[in-house]
């Protein structure tokens, strides 16, 4: 008989799902993350920093940014390695199958490479879930059951017709309950929920739900603990749906702020550029500009960074044949 995780749909969950869907629509109307590459990169960094900070990584968000940018950072090697591993894992989020145990093991191998001896392997020993004070809040099933329960959970994930928002929350809780790995279960549970959501709506790959969890870390652990006590994941589902909703609302506000701070130069460029390709010389003539360097620095590059214009030859940004168009 196929395993079905214990939970039941409530009015509160349905209201949250409806609000999340409404806010996703607003996010698309606020130019969307796909049109804001700088904001997208900042959100990815927030996801990595927050998820690792929950696991006691000591790096600040500025240090995480530096590591991801390839700069040297004076910090414990383990903390730096965690960031580099997480970066590699998150880069694969749109290439993995969230319904595949094999892909889960591959990502765990990347996430925990050089950090634990059993990276990419289901645990062979007993483990538990600890809160930030080191107190055991959940003793995981014995290792001989971990593999069986993990595969059963993935079979349910693959075949369930539940709403993806709710299904991803149920999976996250059940995954933490099983605790299939010797280490890295927390960051993997959060990553995998994002991968499930991103498979459904690709924009979720760039929404830092992890940052909201970090800001409510004690409630996160409490939701896990209370759900375990109730033998169903209802409390955790509501907690996570609120995290998802708040993360989306933060992005909407960020996108609006980003667009409202456009410079006068970008606004001037957007008034003269067309949807068909135009050369830099043509645009400079329309704007009555003489300095090509100033045009690129103050007009073209900021507009490109904001995702407001495109290039005909994006792989050759300095090509003499380069032309620009409004997106």
What is the distance between the alpha carbons of residues 137 and 224, in angstroms, rounded to a whole number? 8
Which residue did the predictor score with more confidence, 127 or 262? 127
Alpha helices of 59-201 — where are they, by DSSP H?
61-68, 77-90, 101-111, 143-159, 164-178, 185-200
Distance separating alpha carbons of residues 180 and 175, to the nearest angstrom: 7
- pLDDT on residue 259: 57
The structure tokens listed for 265 are 């130069």
pLDDT tens column, 205-219: 999 999 999 999 999
What pLDDT digit, counting tens, does each position of 12-71 carry?
A: 999 999 999 999 988 765 554 555 666 788 899 999 999 999 999 999 999 999 999 999
**pLDDT, tens only, 262-321:** 668 888 998 999 989 999 999 999 999 999 999 998 899 888 876 678 888 877 878 889
Positive/negative CA dihedral, 313, 318, 324, 327? positive
∠ CA 137-80-89, rounded to 5°? 75
Instruction: Indicate whether 257 pLDDT > 90.
Output: no
275 three-state secondary structure: coil
Comparing C-alpha atoms, which of 191, 164, 156, 162 is closest to residue 176? 191
Topology adopted by domain 263-326: Arc Repressor Mutant, subunit A (1.10.10)
**What percentage of residues in the chain have a pLDDT greater than 70?**
92
Among 199, 217, 282, which Cα is nearest to 56's?
217
Fold of the domain spanning 11-258? Fic-like fold (1.10.3290)
What ranges do the domains of the chain cover? Answer: 11-258, 263-326
pTM of the predicted structure, to 2 decimals: 0.80
């Amino acid at each position: 008989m196929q395993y079905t995780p214990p939970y039941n749909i409530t009015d509160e969950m349905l209201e949250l799902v409806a609000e999340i869907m409404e806010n996703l629509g607003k996010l698309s109307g606020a130019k969307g993350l796909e049109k804001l590459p700088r904001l997208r990169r900042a959100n990815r960094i927030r996801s990595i920093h927050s998820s690792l900070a929950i696991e006691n990584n000591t790096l600040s968000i500025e240090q995480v940014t530096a590591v991801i940018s390839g700069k040297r950072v004076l910090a414990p090697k383990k903390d730096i390695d965690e960031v580099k591993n997480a970066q590699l894992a998150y880069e694969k989020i749109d290439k993995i199958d969230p319904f595949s145990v094999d892909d889960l093991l591959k990502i765990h191998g990347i996430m925990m490479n050089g950090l634990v001896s059993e990276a990419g392997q289901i645990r062979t020993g007993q483990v538990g879930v600890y809160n930030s004070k080191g107190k055991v809040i959940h003793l995981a099933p014995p290792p001989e059951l971990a593999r069986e329960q993990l595969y059963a959970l993935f079979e349910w994930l693959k075949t369930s017709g539940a709403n993806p928002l709710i299904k991803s929350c149920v999976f996250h809780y059940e995954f933490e309950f099983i605790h299939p790995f010797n280490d890295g279960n927390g960051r993997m549970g959060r990553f995998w929920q994002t991968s499930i959501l991103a498979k459904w709506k690709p924009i979720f790959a760039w929404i830092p739900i992890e940052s909201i969890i970090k800001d409510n870390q004690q409630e996160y652990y409490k939701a896990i603990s209370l759900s375990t006590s109730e033998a169903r994941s209802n409390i955790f589902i509501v907690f996570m749906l609120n995290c998802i909703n708040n993360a989306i609302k933060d992005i909407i506000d960020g996108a609006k702020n980003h667009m409202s701070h456009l410079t006068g130069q970008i606004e001037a460029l957007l008034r003269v550029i067309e949807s068909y390709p135009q050369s830099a010389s043509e645009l400079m003539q329309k704007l009555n500009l003489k300095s090509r360097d100033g045009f690129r620095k103050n007009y073209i590059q900021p507009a490109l960074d904001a995702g407001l214009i495109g290039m005909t030859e994006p792989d050759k940004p300095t090509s003499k044949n380069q032309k620009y168009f409004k997106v």
